[in-house]
A and B are shown apart, each in its own frame.
Chain A
Amino acid sequence: MSAGPFQIATQEYTMKNTDIKRLLYTHLLCIFSIILSIFIPSFFLDNFSVLETHLTWLCICSVFVTAVNLVLYLVVKPNTSTKRSSSHKVTRFLKCCIYFLMSCFLFHVIFVLYGAPLIELVLETFLFAVILSTFTTVPCLCLLGPNVKAWLRVFSRNGVTSIWENSLQITTISSFVGTWLGAFPIPLDWERPWQVWPISCTLGATFGYVAGLVISPLWIYWNRKQLTYKTN
């Protein structure tokens, strides 16, 4: 009996290690999907390049990342605790779609408030909102479902309950920070093609997302001893 707690601790420890490994693999797959979205379309489309046909790339990248996220969610099933019933699956999916669209519109409004042109370049701004939603809202929807309370919990201080949520927090924040930093080169007078609205910001978001994907497993591995999650 005295060995009990120790055993549980080691079990948890190994569980955590396998979890971190799974996390790493899923993240590598996500990064791979972004890389694929850069190279695959050039086989099918003429004159495809990330900068010149930026909007096409945005759509493709968004679709790829969403698809990979969905597949991973179905395969890995990280949140076993959430109870699901098959009858609600359709409404759940529809709800997710509505949430995604709402987040797109919210981001669009925020970009306009930040100074994006109101009337011109609407499509560009909206696609930028879509890609940012893909990097932030889609993983949230996959992991937490259309559940605002859970979102608020994850994004408040000390609210995460698993390494999945922890990595979600890190990737989302790094995507936002990447987008924010991506706006910096716009006023510079270098006259480069990537300084055009919204290319630098979308690239910033992508780099931020990739950086978050890389950093979060490493950070969790590094701090695995200190991280203890409440089990609800």
Chain B
Amino acid sequence: MRLGSGTFAAGCVVIEVLGVALFLRGFFPAPVRSFSGPEHHAETPAPEPSAGATSNWTNRPPPLFSKVVIMLIDGLRDDFVFGSKGVKFMPYTTYLVEKGASHSFVAEAKPPTVTMPRIKALMTGSLPGFIDVVRNLNSPALLEDNVITQAWASGRRIIFYGDETWVKLFPRHFVEYDGTTSFFVSDYTEVDDNVTRHLDAVLKRGDWDVLVLHYLGLDHIGHVSGPHSPLIGRKLGEMDSILMRIHTSLLSQERETSPPSLLVLCGDHGMAERGGHGASSVEEVNTALLLISSAFERKPGDVRRPQHVQQTDVAATLAIGLGLPIPKHSVGCLLLPVVAERAMREQLRLLHLNAVQLCRLLQENVPSYEREPGFEQFQKSERLHANWVRLYLEDSHADVLLSLGSKVRRQYSDALRTLSLALSAQGAHYDVYSMLVGAVVVLEVLALLLLSVPQALGATAELDVPLSSPVSCLLFYLTLLLLGAVHVIVCTSAESSCYFCSLAWPAVATVLALASALLCAVASALTRTLVGGELLRRNPAHSGPRWPELDLLLLLGTLGHAASLGSSSFVEEEHQTWYFLVNTLCLALGHDICRRCFPGDDGDRAEWLAGAAPTRPDKSPRHDVLDLDQRRKGRSSLDALRGPEKWMVLASPWLVLSCCRLLRSLNHTGVQWAHRPDLGHWLASSHHKAELSVLAALCLLAIFMLAHRRCSPVSRVAMALGLLGVYCYRAATGHLLLPWQRESKGISKGIVEARFVYVFVLGLLFMGTKDLLKSRVIAADHTHQPTGLRDLHGGLVLLAALLVRPHNLPVLLCSLLVQAVMTRFVWRPLRHSAAEVTAMHYWFGQAFFYFQGNSNNIATVDISAGFVGLNTYMEVPAMFLTAFSTYAGPVLWASHLVNFLSSDTRSGSALRHACFCYALLCSLPVSAYILLVTSLRYHLFIWSVFSPKLLYEGMHLLLTAAVCLSFVASDRSHAKS
């Protein structure tokens, strides 16, 4: 069967997406689990160890605290409480930290530092897998053993106010709750007032045991304006006063008869310097943790630096504080200062309970647990503990008991720490089999694409796909049989859980058949290439083509970028790679143009002149990238350019370079230079609203002028109104100022304005699609220029203008400007081949992805874009809008590529070449990255640097599949033939 190379490439990318999905599922580990059933409550607690004499203390230790208030402030970074900001804005908390009866810690959150996994970590004490980020937006009920469920089961009355995520996680557990949705990031007062308004009544009633408050405002401020915004201080002051209210109320209600109450102030994650969170920088990971209770000793006032602990320790401490069993999957250890005032026997008992729980988890997750150092330490301390209990029961001397007891306590806490570390490391456990199957599929697709390059980029842009041969081929059946056998062997012998094994057998069979069919296709393509190569070698007339510098640069740049992904620094600073490559590309183009405009010696000039004679009036669509001579002749049109145009051609690379330099200083991303002041921050700060408004207005105007040249009047009007709507939307949300609106009005969500813009976006897209379909159905006049594609492009530009933050509008403008300049003065006059133009579009698309302020770090994803014009959280539109605003740069460049190639009527196969090249360019780094990540899976930075990038690559490949499919859809040459 003959297939267009575009269709072939799109099919390949779709298969590759499947492979990458399988790989990702295997790569992100399942968290540490205990396999015993949920009948935990009936179990009796581990008895106190004793040697000789039997202990008389077998029941569970009593609760240490009668009431617990958990005040969770989203994004409470450690220095907001313990740093200079805390001293300035949180006077009461600072007083408690320095002089009050409290223990302060810096709790380290594990990445991903996103709210839902962090809540899970705080309540279950386990480490949620990285994959939980994806489920963050749609959190199902928490089924794991956790403190809230334990407390609920033991009859405590729990009240909750705050982030709705909790209500989804614990649907039946709260006797009273009021959830606020966390998705209107620009709102930071109402979300908190919604929590605080219940406070007075609840504190007065006192008919509860556990009160959970989750304040979202601080995190929202961080998302919108960063950790150095003046709003942060005000919010911290508000939080401080709330803390004081709760604390004084708790103190006034304490009775002598019942145990004291506990107030926990904590953050779920920190806040990066840019205001986001999700990754593993120090600012995002370190959160404040403050435990306040009258049971603690008052501090004399010496300011010590707070101790660093793990966030997972909170669950174990809370469980012990409430007299509950420690959650089964908890990998945390008890915070020793909390129990330091209790009797020695009780302290040891509690430590023993925690150690027994951790050891049980270790036994269930590590086959060779007996050799673990933590387990040995535990056994040693248990023996010492037993001796201590015997001495205690024999009424030994108090001093002896105390010194020996503190030794045992130290032993226990060392053992706990080692056990906790060993269990945390268990999280990095890969499902290698699924990874392998996914990687094999991806690599086979890449090999197939690479092997079909000569055919697919040939003149007709068609290739033979032997669809029938795999079915009849012996190799196919042999491979399938072999793979099936391997599958059965692996799945029956696997000790740990494996995703691919747990799939239903039709799915498995499909994947295996796909893998073996691909293998057959690769083998047949390989033999064809070898045979063809031999024929080529026998033909002496056909000398190897000489690569022009530009092609060499494009090839080496793409390969070099793929290779650079092996280094964590280059992944963190990938934007630098792209900026560097794009700059070099522009300089190379400048050099090329210069050489063409001023041909050096006379011989050269003669050659050009000869070429400039009316060449190729032939209509044959022959267009071969490898056929250089022909192209060289075609390229001579530069001499024909008139004076000013020639100078514009000469100046255009420099114009593009200056645009890129400007955008580069707009958003600093990455890690090393991200903290430098940049234009984007300057514009986004609240003091420069007027400047931002003027800039945004100018940008929108320029976008209108650039985006809709040569368009129908209807779409022009739609575009103009849409862009006006964008400005109104931003003015309504309080980002921009309207000239007639002096005093600042209340901030609204701008639903009406945003929907007004959506109407025009949809209208443009609809018109474009209609035109496209019409031209495909009629397909009579080849000369008819497709306006449909232009309308589609305009619709996408309008959508991007609505979704990107206002200070990023210059990025959008520059991308349109660069596209226009390059089209008019570089690609058209120099007649670059479709493959070259595609590679350049791909490079620019990648560079613009980073110009927008994105990075290979989850924190930079602008989730507020997902809620533009939506009243309530809707999963599908929100995800689509967020993805579009993140990938606006690459998408707009790809859409421009389609526009450019289909308006350029030089060759019918250009679009197919472009589609093939685009697929190849995207799948090359993905495949290389999958190999690199597999080999680096025990690297120190695998979770913090490499795995977010893997998610980005997966998303990018998905996008590429969509782009390739739309290339195929808009390819009109099918209709023609």
Q: Which residues of A contact B (CB under 8 A)?
A: 110, 112-115, 118, 152-153, 155-159, 180, 183, 186-189
Contacts and interface: CB of A to CB of B under 8 A. Distances in A.
Contacts of B573: 187
B57 interface: no
Nearest to B595: A156
Interface stretch (B599-607, B806-814, B860-868, B883-891): B599-607
Contacts of A113: 583, 657-658, 660-661
Interface residues of B, number: 29
Given A152-B594, A152-B598, A159-B601, 16 more contacts: A110-B587, A112-B661, A113-B658, A114-B579, A114-B580, A115-B579, A155-B600, A157-B604, A158-B604, A180-B584, A183-B580, A187-B570, A187-B572, A187-B573, A187-B670, A189-B572
6 contacts: A113-B661, A152-B598, A153-B600, A156-B599, A187-B576, A187-B672
Nearest to A151: B600
B396 interface: no
Interface of B: 567-570, 572-573, 576-577, 579-580, 583-584, 587, 594-595, 598-601, 603-604, 657-658, 660-661, 664-665, 670, 672
Contacts of A110: 587
Contacts of A115: 576, 579-580, 583, 661, 664
A157 B658 CA distance: 28
A108 B951 CA distance: 38
B569 A187 contact: yes
A47 to B, nearest CB: 28
A158 B661 contact: no
A155 B601 CA distance: 11
A214 to B, nearest CB: 23
A162 to B, nearest CB: 14
A114 B579 CA distance: 8
Contacts of A158: 603-604
A159 B665 CA distance: 40
Given A113-B658, A189-B672, A152 B603 contact: no
- Chain A CB within 10 Å, residue with most, of B567, B577, B661, B670: B661
Given A180-B584, A183-B580, A153 B569 contact: no
A38 B862 CA distance: 51
A29 to B, nearest CB: 30
A76 B332 CA distance: 78
Nearest to A118: B665
The 3 closest A-B CB pairs, nearest first, are: A156-B600, A187-B573, A153-B600
A155 B959 CA distance: 42
Contacts of A186: 576
Given A113-B658, A115-B579, A156 B601 contact: yes
Contacts of B569: 187-189
Contacts of B657: 113
A136 to B, nearest CB: 14
A137 to B, nearest CB: 16
Nearest to A110: B587
Nearest to B586: A113
A34 B567 CA distance: 33
A25 B795 CA distance: 66
A153 B598 CA distance: 9
A113 B580 CA distance: 10
- Chain A CB within 10 Å, residue with most, of B567, B569, B598, B601: B601
A152 B572 CA distance: 40
Nearest to B654: A113
A152 B601 CA distance: 9
Contacts of B594: 152
Nearest to A185: B569
Contacts of A189: 568-569, 572, 672
B212 to A, nearest CB: 40
- Chain B CB within 10 Å, residue with most, of A112, A115, A155, A183: A115
A188 B664 contact: no
